[in-house]
Structure 1
Amino acid sequence: MEITAGILRGMELKAPAGLDVRPTAVRARQALFDSLGDLSGKIFADLCAGSGAVGLEAASRGASRVIFAECAPPSLAAIRQNCRKAAAAGLTAGLEIVEGALPDSIARLASHAKPDIVFADPPYPVSSDLLAGVTEDDRFARWADSAALIWELPSERRGFRPPGSAWRAVSIRNLGAAEFLFLVRTRG
């Protein structure tokens, strides 16, 4: 697993030890970021961050700040190690870690700067419930008010719950063998 573009291109990342982690595939991550365009100066949030690969990809491509949210201790250790390695390689973006499971940690998450882009790749078995829980939370809606929310979708979506009414699906994009749901806040 490595960073695909930007100032950290080619940097190998540590995967969390002892967990059955399903990182966003390199091709899918590259296609996603290529579709997002210039991230210069953007604030990017990486929810259910795993190794931190998606957030570090954003930082490598110019995001000025990345907020990682994760609850698993092995993943938190991997994120910290990967962030230290990125800083040693010259990354100057602000890197912040919020510990705790979503949606319980939303209050801590919402104390950080408002993001421009929020990406989430939760474990597939809880993806539907987590999407509903996060998008139904008023604190999350206020924090991510102007952000694009990108949710990596499980391939099996039977019974998948729609997002809360404060959010509207804009598109589902198939990028590099993964599907991503793009959402924005509803107004009014």
Structure 2
Amino acid sequence: MRIIAGRLGGLQFKAPRGHRTHPMSDRVRGALFNSLGNIEGLSVLDAFAGTGALSFEAISRGAKKTVSIDIDVKAVKVMQESVIKLRIENQCKVVRANASSWSSNNKNMLFDIVIAAPPYDNLQPFVIAKLTRHVKSDGMFLLDWPASEEPPTLNTMKLIDARKYGNAQIAFYVPV
């Protein structure tokens, strides 16, 4: 896998072998970050991080810090190796945790951008809803969701856009 744009653009990183994640394609990842525009100095939570691609892309494009959460041991190990290889240890924190538990244990952590890309075979709307509480009042919540389904209604969020890319769609929410 590779970082698409920014100061780390073109650099490669590994994905766990035989991993059950659905890494976001370069096309979708590029479109997502192009939609966000300037993210210089912002903080990003990457829930269900898998390969870490979203965190790495965010840092490359100017994000100040990212937190990457995944429960899978292999995924976390490979992400940690990539963080070292990319020399972004001071900007990217990798955490092995269940997203729901992490959210409960870090209630006061707020981010400018929260991205959730859960495995399509294990979509849990209540976990998605929990993650929205980590969005700053002027922030944004992005959800990678199957294109075949309507994005969920989230009580504390307003859906402002949903863009489909093949089997995937990115839903953009802002706090109400």
Alignment TM-score > 0.5, same fold: yes
Equivalent position of 1:124 in the other structure: 120
Report the equivalent of 1:134: 128
- Residue 138 of structure 2 corresponds to residue 144 of structure 1: no
Q: How far, CA to CA, are the matches of 1:153 and 1:84 in structure 2?
A: 30
Question: Runs of 4 or more off by more than 6 Å in structure 1?
Answer: none
Paired amino acid for 1:124: Y
TM superposition shift of 1:93: 5.4
Answer 1 or 2: which has greater strand percent.
2
**Structure 1 unaligned blocks of 5 or more:** none
Q: What's the TM-score, normalizing by structure 2?
A: 0.89
CA RMSD of aligned residues (A): 2.1
Q: Once the two structures are superposed, what CA deviation does each residue of 1:142-168 show, in whole Å capped at 9, x if it has no partner?
A: 4324220000111332xx672331222
Q: Which residue number in structure 1 is paired with residue 162 of structure 2?
A: 172
Q: Which of 111, 127, 136 is the matching residue for 1:115?
A: 111
Aligned to 1:27: 27
Aligned residue runs from structure 1 range 39-78, under 5 A: 39-78=39-78
How far apart, CA to CA, are the structure 2 residues paired with 1:44 and 1:102? 15
Contact kept, 8 Å, 2:151 with 2:171, in 1: the verdict is no
1:21, distance to aligned residue in structure 2 (A): 2.2
> Percent of counterpart pairs with the same letter?
28
1:101 and 2:93 matched:
no
Select 2:147's aligned residue among 133, 140, 155: 155
Cα distance, 1:25–1:60 mapped onto 2, change above 3 Å: same
CA distance in 2, matches of 1:176, 1:37: 22
Contact 1:153 1:178 in 2 (8 A): yes
Gaps spanning 5+ residues in structure 2: where? Answer: none
CA separation of 1:76 and 1:152: change in aligned 2, threshold 3 A: same
Instruction: Please tell me whether residue 8 in structure 1 is matched to residue 2 in structure 2.
Output: no
How far apart, CA to CA, are the structure 1 residues paired with 2:51 and 2:133? Answer: 27
Number of residue-to-residue matches in the alignment? 175
Inter-partner Cα distance in structure 2 for 1:92 and 1:38: 22
Q: More displaced, 118-127 or 175-184?
A: 175-184
